[in-house]
Structure 1
Amino acid sequence: MRSNKHLTLSLLFTFSAIGAWAQATVNTNDPKSGRINSPYTRYGIGNMVDTRSAGLRGMGGIANGYAKDYTINAYNPASYTYLNRTTLEFAIDMQSNNVRIGDNVTKSGTFTISQFNLAFPLKQRHLAMNLGYTPISKVYYNSADSVMVQGLGKTLQTHNGEGNLNFAYIGLSGGAKGFSVGVNAGYLFGNIRNSSYFNVIDSNSSYTRNTDISRKDIYGGLYWKGGAMYKASLKNNQYISAGATGTLSQKINTSRSEYFVAGTDTVLNNPGGAITDTVSAVYDKKGKMTMPAEFGFGIHYGKANNYDFGLDITYADWSVFNRFGASEANIGQNAYRISIGGEVIPNVKATPKQYFSAMTYRFGAYYGKDYVYWDQTNTNINYYGLTVGLQLPFRPYYEQSGALNMSLDMGNRGTIANDLAREFYVKFTVGLRFNDLWFRRPKYD
């Protein structure tokens, strides 16, 4: 009964935080769309989404070598083999983003689905499966500025875009004697639109020259990611685990529609004063997008379900990224991320009266280099952050019926040097986990 009270209080606290967050994001000054306004999403496929679970995010994202009996780690599909029970996990994200360019600050916020996973062991410690979904990247930006052009006058520029990429997949893993391999294979899909509008006011202010350029790409194709892991038992219930993940460069089917419209208009917009011309237009052009190869490695040390500490490194080769066979500006040669973190459970055998001792406390930090790279000034877009997290079990930890996971991630990305943008972000992730016994043959005396 007491554990149910703790669960009720936890849920009330969570939903109160969600309500307060949603109220705060309504008061953003630009945009008021419920989406994160990030200028760097104008390049490539936008901001890469953290595909790690709510619990792993609280540990700095140390996911390559992490495996537990009751937790899904879809980041490394080899971890499914170590699951002891059928497990359902889903999570939601709340994020606030402050973008500073010079002395100007833009605030925005969002509330989105983070991921969904349903994993179950088919043969204990030997074979397991997972059904999953996660966003891969997100695009939303809305910016405007003006530039004086000699001989023409003031040029007003507006850039905006939106879209996302998603991944729905089936994961399989198998192994024996502490070693496991796995793969997530499925369908990567989504669409991204980029638009730019230029308005040049003539020097005598009698008319303007307008240019409208827009492009929309629709993506859909097979995609996969593999993993391997080894977990060795040591003395006194201690263990060490190491894991690696990787995916080769892959091509995704792409359909592109784009147009280029130019014309003139009177400044006063008199009826009949506008003259426009479609310079070019292409619809449903078929091609490919080449995604980068990515590799990761992680190592963990822990004791049973008492504690776990780890180090993680990931690297992606973005030099191969292109769309329709053409490379793109402001895409760097590589990207990397280094993470450290851990979790501690004070007492895994705590009674309901000792609820706070049964909670899992998490912490971590990370530093990385983004794949976006500012060509004009040879400036890397780096990022770093600190994370904390909590896991609140529904019942005493040893019963493993499920838990509520929460993580907080605060960090910076980019720089205001060279007239670029610096983003300060706060991400709050809430995840629910449910455990049950499936596919177990009952024993009779």
Structure 2
Amino acid sequence: MIKRFLAVAFVLISGTILAQRNSASPYSFFGIGDEFNPKTVEQSSMGGIGVAQKENQYLNFINPAANADLRIATYALAGKLSFVTLKETDATQSGNITSLRYIALGFPIGKKAGLSVGLQPLSSVGYSLLNQTRNGDVIEEVNKFSGTGGTNRIYASFGSYLFEGFSVGFEAGFIFGNIENSILNQVRNVAFATKYNQDLNIRGGQFKFGTQYKTKLTDKMNLHTGAALTLSSDLSARGSERLFSLIFSGSGQEIPKDEAYNRGIDGSVTIPLRTVVGFGLGKENKWYVGFNSEFSGKASGERVFEDLETAYRYDNAQRFSIGGYYIPKVNSISSYWDRVTYRAGVRFEDTGLLVKGDPNSTNFTAINDYGINVGVALPLPRQISTLNLGFEYGQRGTTNNNLIKENYFNVRLSLSLNDIQWFRKSRID
């Protein structure tokens, strides 16, 4: 029954993931949008740790070497509800957005290896920004920036033990998507407005390698270490750009007039080299505390976003996460809440994005991000599957230098469904 359910869910949810809008952030204006580091709800609830963690019933999107520990077929699907408040120096705006985060399947291959496959969004563009130039109470000029779209990732990930405690893994992914950006300019007492449209198709591959090692420190404590390396990827960015004049009808509809140019774009977008290293201490089925350190190089967009390079640029990025979980009594019969997994963690991130808030200034401001996370894994009745809930409060950006600060609250929900019968033939007595 569960196989049929997952087959139908994969078809329906895959289409939704590809078509959805995942971001309401003004910072999705830059590059290929608001990028998502692939993580499960369980990992996000612990601040984003997981490069060293070994689990036999949960998927691990951070380190492909963790697939070696899969012992039962595991299906995972997740969604997120975000509440965002945007603050400027003298204005505040709030909104929310619901999105599906991933659908994935993992299963063991023999006793020392495992494979997982899945679909998840990688970045999202979803902004609408208005900039006005005033002379007293009179609006002299209006610029409206808007964008939609994003990229998605299909991946296959394999992990295997080389010897006891030590596993290696490899992951191959294909990134694809569409991004549309536009800038509308209108000047007071000028009959025609001007609009610039850009439409891009993003395509390319991505590869990741990982290792994990687990050893006993004492009879009750294990040491976990791990590392993952995502190679730099040059994604093709092909499409078109158009500059034209227009007027507005009485109902507000755009009516194009003269066209300055309509030409093709053939460029590339670089996703930089990314490394994640970490370690953890824990007792199986009882508690775990881990630390992740992540570094990535500079992103770039050749012949794609060059007209905006004076407004922003990229530097090296880094992220630090610490978190863990606690299970009071994993096999408790008397108390359901003793079988619940309780998770918590924090993360601090320098995104590598530098933005110039004032076009007349030469100063760029670094955009930082941090989040505080808690979560629970609720066992489902008469199953080894769980319903995972995660909550995150975070802040990104600043109101300094005419920029925008985001306060956000994320609610994450996932199902981790386990089926021990996946590869066993049915028997009729």
TM-score, normalised relative to structure 1: 0.83
Partner of 1:426: 409
Distance 1:94 1:129, change over 3 A: same
The SS at the match of 1:41 is: helix
Which residues of 2 match residues 131-280 of structure 1 at below 5 A? Answer: 131-148=117-134, 154-175=140-161, 176-202=163-189, 207-262=190-245, 276-280=257-261
Distance 1:178 1:35, change over 3 A: closer
CA deviation after TM superposition for structure 1 residue 276, in Å: 3.4
User: CA offsets, 1:281-324, max 9 Å, x none?
Assistant: 114x4332222111111111000110000111111112x52233
Partner of 1:324: 303
Structure 2: state its 5+ residue gaps: 1-19, 357-361
**Could you tell me the percent identity over the aligned residues?**
28
Whole-angstrom distance in 1 between the partners of 2:406 and 2:280: 31
Whole-angstrom distance in 2 between the partners of 1:348 and 1:331: 49
1:48 aligns with 2:19: no
CA deviation after TM superposition for structure 1 residue 325, in Å: 7.5
Partner of 1:58: 45
CA deviation after TM superposition for structure 1 residue 35, in Å: 6.0
Which residues of 2 match residues 107-146 of structure 1 at below 5 A? Answer: 107-124=94-111, 126-146=112-132
Letter in 1 for 2:183: S
User: CA offsets, 1:65-114, max 9 Å, x none?
Assistant: 11112111122111010122111111111111111112211212111111
1:416 aligns with 2:399: yes
Q: 1:349 aligns with which of 309, 312, 331?
A: 331
CA deviation after TM superposition for structure 1 residue 441, in Å: 9.4
User: CA offsets, 1:45-68, max 9 Å, x none?
Assistant: 111124211111111111211111
> Where do 4+ consecutive residues of structure 1 move more than 6 Å?
none
Contact 2:23-2:34 within 8 A present in 1 as well: no
CA deviation after TM superposition for structure 1 residue 378, in Å: 2.2
Contact 1:298-1:310 within 8 A present in 2 as well: yes
Contact 1:36-1:108 within 8 A present in 2 as well: no
CA deviation after TM superposition for structure 1 residue 427, in Å: 0.7
Whole-angstrom distance in 2 between the partners of 1:289 and 1:133: 21
CA deviation after TM superposition for structure 1 residue 235, in Å: 2.2
Contact 2:204-2:233 within 8 A present in 1 as well: no
- Choose between structure 1 and 2: higher helix proportion: 1
Contact 1:46-1:139 within 8 A present in 2 as well: yes
Partner of 1:98: 85
Partner of 1:359: 340
Letter in 2 for 1:144: L
Letter in 2 for 1:41: S
Letter in 2 for 1:166: N
The SS at the match of 2:58 is: coil
Contact 2:345-2:372 within 8 A present in 1 as well: yes
Letter in 2 for 1:161: G
Distance 1:78 1:63, change over 3 A: same
Partner of 2:14: none
Contact 1:228-1:244 within 8 A present in 2 as well: yes
Structure 1: state its 5+ residue gaps: 1-32
1:392 aligns with 2:378: yes
Partner of 1:11: none
Whole-angstrom distance in 1 between the partners of 2:249 and 2:99: 42
Contact 2:206-2:231 within 8 A present in 1 as well: no
The SS at the match of 2:406 is: strand
Partner of 1:27: none
User: CA offsets, 1:128-170, max 9 Å, x none?
Assistant: 11111111111111111211489x9811111100111110011
Letter in 1 for 2:169: G
Contact 2:22-2:125 within 8 A present in 1 as well: no
TM-score, normalised relative to structure 2: 0.86
The SS at the match of 1:180 is: strand
User: CA offsets, 1:221-240, max 9 Å, x none?
Assistant: 22222211111123224211
Letter in 1 for 2:295: Y
Contact 1:413-1:423 within 8 A present in 2 as well: yes
CA deviation after TM superposition for structure 1 residue 409, in Å: 0.7
Whole-angstrom distance in 1 between the partners of 2:173 and 2:256: 48
Distance 1:325 1:153, change over 3 A: closer
Partner of 2:367: 381
Whole-angstrom distance in 2 between the partners of 1:35 and 1:405: 20
The SS at the match of 1:66 is: coil
Partner of 2:291: 311
Letter in 2 for 1:129: L
Contact 1:35-1:109 within 8 A present in 2 as well: no
Letter in 2 for 1:106: Q
Contact 1:391-1:403 within 8 A present in 2 as well: yes
The SS at the match of 1:80 is: helix
Report which of the two structures shows the higher radius of gyration computed on alpha carbons. 1
Partner of 1:301: 281
CA deviation after TM superposition for structure 1 residue 34, in Å: 7.5
Aligned residues: 392
Distance 1:35 1:223, change over 3 A: closer
Whole-angstrom distance in 2 between the partners of 1:35 and 1:82: 31
Whole-angstrom distance in 2 between the partners of 1:143 and 1:208: 23
